[in-house]
């Protein structure tokens, strides 16, 4: 999903050619740069991203990925939370030299800029991509409302009103996860994390008088979806064992995740397991008295469906 920019100004031999968006656990703005090769041999060269609330991210030029879409292009990515789709991100390449530093011009961009480019050039893109962009912006707007970020500049302002937004009328159907307990742990509940990287948290009550400080060393966690091992980790808080699976892409929000916790003291013969989908939480959230959560999770589901349709 590449959107070109017309600004081809050369400053310090570095040229920004365009942007694209990647939809992984967070929305990534991909910057396509024409960068002479000698900059990559300079120690300490990096791109500096400035996000809202003075959050700064530095990415080494050596981590740039050579584009498989455009010849002689390199890609550098800045990940953006869903609620920051209308926030302006600044980017500048900084290269140390004997006289201090050399810099590119400062580039400004937002996820909404990319989306609006697509929507303003509909004839150049297929219907599935246009639907995905609309669903992404709608999800971003409800994330803004939920977290109270840039609510005077909602991502979906040019697309929907309160009278025609499908999120307000969408009905979701029940979907129940399966789980198996052991003598120490029982499944308590789940939550979705979407303030930064999209993730799934599963909470387990510690049933017996087990030393909480040792519980993390007692169990070995593994997570799978679509026959793929997923990165996961455990924490303990308020008497509960919490398993977190991060980096869940938009198209994976209705996937089933199988989580296993093996008791190492039992030679792995005792296992707690659960099959749970982010969709389970989304459906459960429809009963919430907090309409911000209801609409946010509905928007997440519609974003998921649009992403799957596009990928298919």
Sign of CA dihedral 166, 168, 170, 175: positive
Q: Is the pLDDT of residue 107 over 80?
A: yes
**Band of the pLDDT at 10, cuts 50, 70, 90?**
very low
Torsion on CA atoms 208, 211, 213, 219, rounded to nearest 10: -60
Q: Which two tokens stand for residue 95?
A: 């290269």
The more confidently predicted of residues 38 and 255 is 255
User: Residues of the chain with pLDDT > 90: what percent?
Assistant: 45
DSSP 166: G
Give the start-end residues of each E strand in 128-239.
178-180, 185-193, 199-206, 219-225, 228-230, 232-237
pLDDT, residue 170, reads 58
**Band of the pLDDT at 40, cuts 50, 70, 90?**
confident
């Amino acid at each position: 999903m590449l959107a070109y920019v017309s600004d081809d100004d050369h400053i310090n031999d570095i040229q920004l050619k365009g942007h694209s968006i990647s939809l992984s656990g967070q929305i990534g703005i991909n910057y396509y740069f024409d960068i002479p090769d000698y900059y990559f041999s300079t120690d300490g060269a990096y791109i500096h991203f400035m996000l809202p609330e003075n959050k700064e991210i530095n990415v080494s030029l050596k981590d740039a990925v050579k584009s498989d879409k455009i010849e002689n292009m390199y890609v550098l990515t800045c990940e953006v939370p869903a609620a920051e789709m209308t926030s302006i991100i600044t980017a500048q390449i900084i290269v140390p030299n004997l006289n201090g530093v050399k810099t590119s011009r400062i580039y400004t961009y937002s996820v909404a800029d990319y989306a609006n480019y697509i929507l303003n050039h509909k004839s150049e893109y297929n219907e599935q991509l246009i639907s995905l962009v609309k669903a992404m912006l709608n999800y971003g707007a409800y994330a803004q409302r939920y977290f109270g970020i840039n609510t005077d500049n909602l991502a979906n302002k040019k697309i929907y009103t309160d009278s025609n937004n499908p999120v307000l009328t969408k009905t979701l159907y029940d979907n129940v996860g399966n789980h198996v307990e052991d003598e120490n742990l029982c499944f308590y509940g789940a939550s979705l994390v979407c303030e930064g990287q999209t993730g799934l948290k599963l909470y387990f009550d510690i049933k017996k008088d087990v030393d909480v400080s040792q519980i993390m060393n007692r169990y070995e966690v593994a997570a799978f979806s679509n026959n793929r091992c997923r990165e996961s980790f455990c924490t303990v808080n308020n008497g509960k064992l919490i398993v977190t699976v991060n980096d869940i892409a938009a198209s994976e929000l209705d996937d089933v995740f199988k989580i296993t916790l093996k008791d190492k003291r039992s030679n792995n013969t005792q296992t707690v397991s659960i099959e749970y989908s982010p969709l389970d939480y989304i459906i459960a959230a429809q009963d919430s008295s907090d309409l911000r959560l209801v609409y946010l999770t509905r928007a997440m589901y519609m974003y998921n469906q649009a992403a799957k349709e596009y990928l298919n």
